Structure 1
Amino acid sequence: MAEDAAARLRLIRSANIGPVTYRQLIARFGDAAGAAAAIPMLAARGGGRPPDLADPRLIADEMATTARLGATYLFIDDADYPPLLAALDNAPPALIVRGNRSLLRRPAVAIVGARNASAAACRFARQLGHDLAGDECAVVSGLARGIDTAAHVGALSGGTIAVIASGIDIAFPPENAELQEKIAREGLLIAEQPPGTEPRARHFPYRNRIIAGLALGTVVVEAAPKSGSLITARLAAEAGREVMAVPGSPADPRAQGCNLLIREGATLVQNAADILEQIRPLDPRMVRSPGNIFAGAPPDDASESDRLTIVGLLGPVPVAVDELVRQSGLMSAIVQTVLLELELAGRLERHAGGRVSMA
């Protein structure tokens, strides 16, 4: 088991192997070791050099550090991996968790908002967190200053999940170190990055997709029009989840994002009861498991003509994979095979919404 976990992590921590590629590799070759052995061949077909796979010694060090921190790995095909998150195309192949995994089986609501939130908004978020957790919901947020912190504090005694952009052992912001440790003891702390990773700007959108993916609905409490909270709300909408917002004064710039969401169709909420009314029909205990997420391996029979066709349709502007299938006239599985080869060769970039472009 440990050997298989190490082989999986070696793929996950390697360049040019994102969540979609990881799934396809395991689907085709059955296990991580077989996939790793085939990567040079696939990259050559994609017209580039194979990516440097992660050093096995670094993977061993990471696993030892994770165990020493009292954390564990949760792989995408593990029984405890939340099905709502697994349903995302770009779901993390592995999470590092500390705390009470049973919270992942509860209906979850994400509460996000401004870091520089008003005192009134923080009080409101704290009350929402408390009330939702008291109704056996897991309150999910990102441990940022302001609204995130307030929601976690309110829900701490009933059940809260914090998703962080750093390694499981790095507290950010530093003033939340004590709260982060409390959540690891009394709730659940989740990180996608390996231990020791300092948070970087590029990590936060990845964290936001986990927050949105875990939850049946996302509630925004104060947010500027171009804030990370609105990115989380957009990701929730793209995943088919409920988007809710707390209205605010038009005179307060911190309320503009919420008011904009409501104008665009988000549900206006004034209390926890409004939120529960929206999510109860979507209780995850009624959601079917995605089944074998590695089913449907693409065939290994793309021709050189197929590759030329797909490359000819790609460019620097992201395009939906479905559009490539339509315009190429090729089977979806063959298109996916060519894209896999191009990505491993370092020639393809994947974007949100199932879009791709040439690197």
Structure 2
Amino acid sequence: MARASQERPEPDSRRPLSEAERLAWLRLLRSEHVGPVTFRQLIARFGNAAAALEALPELARRGGRRAAPRIASAAEAERELEAVERLGAWTLGLAEPGYPEALAAIDDAPPLLILKGRRALLERPAVAVVGARNASTNGRALARSLAGDLAGAGFLVASGLARGIDTAAHEGSLEAGTAAVVAGGPDVFYPPENRALQEAIAERGLLVAEQPPGTEPLARHFPRRNRIISGLSRAVLVVEAALRSGSLITARLALEQGREVGAVPGSPLDPRARGCNLLLRQGAILVEEADDLLRELAGQRAPLRPGRLREAPDAPEPAARDDETHASARARAAVVECLGPSGVAVDEVLRRCQLSASLVSLILMELELAGRLERQPGGRVALIGASD
């Protein structure tokens, strides 16, 4: 299956965030309507999180919001960092050493990860093993075996800790190296029956969360979790999946991120095999044993390069042209006209509007901060209503 190009800029030198920077990053990330893409754009435009926080009210006003957006306080950020520390976990920023390079290479990489477990596992290349929640007995056994073999070959096996195939994949790779990406907070056990497994992974594997402690997983959190699973990984292996399933969403995200996709074939009479068979017809790697995937990965090119994200409080961005700094009402109206309730690719917005990429990026950022724009997986955006 063809992979998208993943050419990224050379990364800036990475360094640990200072205590003040980490607090500002967390405040910015937890502020209203600031998602991963907008976070990255704000840092690029203003040079550091503290300056971006000051700019939020004006940017939201330009996007059409009357009331100022809610900005997370320093006290709130401090409480979250203390809660993370009490769990025995830690935060890792996108600009810091040790942040997984494959994940850093995607446009909507989480600015801050919450991690618990064995730090050394972050250094390994990862492969995702995902599939149906209502998996068959044979599917679970195969997932357990494949995951164990992949971990034994030196890969970190990533999955989503869901019932069925995910659970089997974690069980098979727990001792050799597994990472569970959870949709809620790192201290929330979901599904409840996997509590013991989640606790074991947090001790002997690696637990990965994007949401703050105490966050119960909601429906919108699962696609976001899926893009982390595929983003962490060199390849996504689907063991069983129906035609309409989260596993196929993860596979689609993997392709958009430039990853390999593999699938285990199954009987056309089994609905749980139809998603995998569809992926195979579309060119996915046919996987019956771990070596089928390992051979493909052995010839893969050098690690993906992470995109730029830097803190530069003493060296702000060079001044942009006037049309890139302040969007005119006409330009903003042109962009809004290109949007609708259904997601559209940003590249398509650029084509329709015939405006510079930097100007469109600014307008989309302003609309998002005003609560009028939703960013969807795969680099798509949708208009979601009027401002407050």
Normalized against structure 1, the TM-score is what? Answer: 0.94
- Please show how residues 162-241 of structure 1 align to structure 2 within 5 Å: 162-241=180-259
**Of 362, 366, 386, which aligns to 1:337?**
362
> Which string of whole-angstrom CA distances, capped at 9 and with x for unpartnered residues, describes residues 315-346 of structure 1?
33332222222232221111111111111112
Aligned to 1:306: 331
Aligned to 2:6: none
Q: Which moved more, 1:162-171 or 1:51-60?
A: 51-60
The percentage of counterpart residues that share the same residue type is: 56
Q: CA deviation at 1:294?
A: 5.0
Aligned to 2:308: 292
Aligned to 1:81: 99
Asked if 1:11 corresponds to 2:28, the answer is yes
Asked if 1:352 corresponds to 2:351, the answer is no
Classify the secondary structure of the residue corresponding to 1:282.
coil
Classify the secondary structure of the residue corresponding to 1:216.
strand
Counterpart Cα distance in 1 of 2:142 and 2:172: 10
Counterpart Cα distance in 1 of 2:339 and 2:135: 43
Q: Is the 8 A contact 2:143 2:165 kept in 1?
A: yes
Structure 1 residues 243 and 291, CA, compared in 2 at 3 Å: closer, same or farther?
closer
Q: Is the 8 A contact 1:23 1:294 kept in 2?
A: no
Structure 1 residues 143 and 357, CA, compared in 2 at 3 Å: closer, same or farther?
closer
Q: Which moved more, 1:298-307 or 1:322-331?
A: 298-307
> Which string of whole-angstrom CA distances, capped at 9 and with x for unpartnered residues, describes residues 95-116 of structure 1?
1000122222212110011112
- Please tell me the residue identity of whatever aligns with 2:344: V
Counterpart Cα distance in 2 of 1:220 and 1:242: 11
Q: CA deviation at 1:308?
A: 3.0
Classify the secondary structure of the residue corresponding to 1:40.
helix
Q: Is the 8 A contact 2:185 2:216 kept in 1?
A: yes
Counterpart Cα distance in 2 of 1:71 and 1:64: 10
- Please tell me the residue identity of whatever aligns with 1:321: V
Q: Is the 8 A contact 2:230 2:251 kept in 1?
A: yes
- Please tell me the residue identity of whatever aligns with 2:297: I
Q: Which moved more, 1:168-177 or 1:265-274?
A: 168-177
**Of 52, 56, 69, which aligns to 1:35?**
52
Q: CA deviation at 1:314?
A: 2.8
Aligned to 1:322: 347
Unaligned stretches of 5+ in structure 1?
A: none
Structure 1 residues 125 and 288, CA, compared in 2 at 3 Å: closer, same or farther?
closer
Counterpart Cα distance in 1 of 2:255 and 2:23: 34
Q: Is the 8 A contact 2:223 2:377 kept in 1?
A: no
Counterpart Cα distance in 2 of 1:139 and 1:317: 34
Asked if 1:47 corresponds to 2:72, the answer is no
Counterpart Cα distance in 2 of 1:40 and 1:31: 16
Spell out structure 1 runs of 4+ moving beyond 4 A: 294-299
Structure 1 residues 116 and 312, CA, compared in 2 at 3 Å: closer, same or farther?
closer
- Please tell me the residue identity of whatever aligns with 1:252: D
- Please tell me the residue identity of whatever aligns with 1:194: P
- Please tell me the residue identity of whatever aligns with 2:334: T
Counterpart Cα distance in 1 of 2:135 and 2:337: 48
Q: CA deviation at 1:232?
A: 0.9
Q: CA RMSD in A?
A: 1.8
Q: CA deviation at 1:288?
A: 4.7
Unaligned stretches of 5+ in structure 2?
A: 1-17, 312-316
Q: Is the 8 A contact 1:98 1:190 kept in 2?
A: yes
- Aligned pair count reads 357
Aligned to 1:263: 281
Q: Which moved more, 1:107-116 or 1:317-326?
A: 317-326
Q: Is the 8 A contact 2:106 2:307 kept in 1?
A: no
Counterpart Cα distance in 2 of 1:25 and 1:58: 21
- Please show how residues 241-256 of structure 1 align to structure 2 within 5 Å: 241-256=259-274
Q: Which moved more, 1:201-210 or 1:55-64?
A: 55-64
Normalized against structure 2, the TM-score is what? Answer: 0.87
**Of 11, 16, 19, which aligns to 1:2?**
19
Q: Is the 8 A contact 2:374 2:381 kept in 1?
A: yes
Aligned to 1:118: 136
Q: Is the 8 A contact 2:102 2:304 kept in 1?
A: no
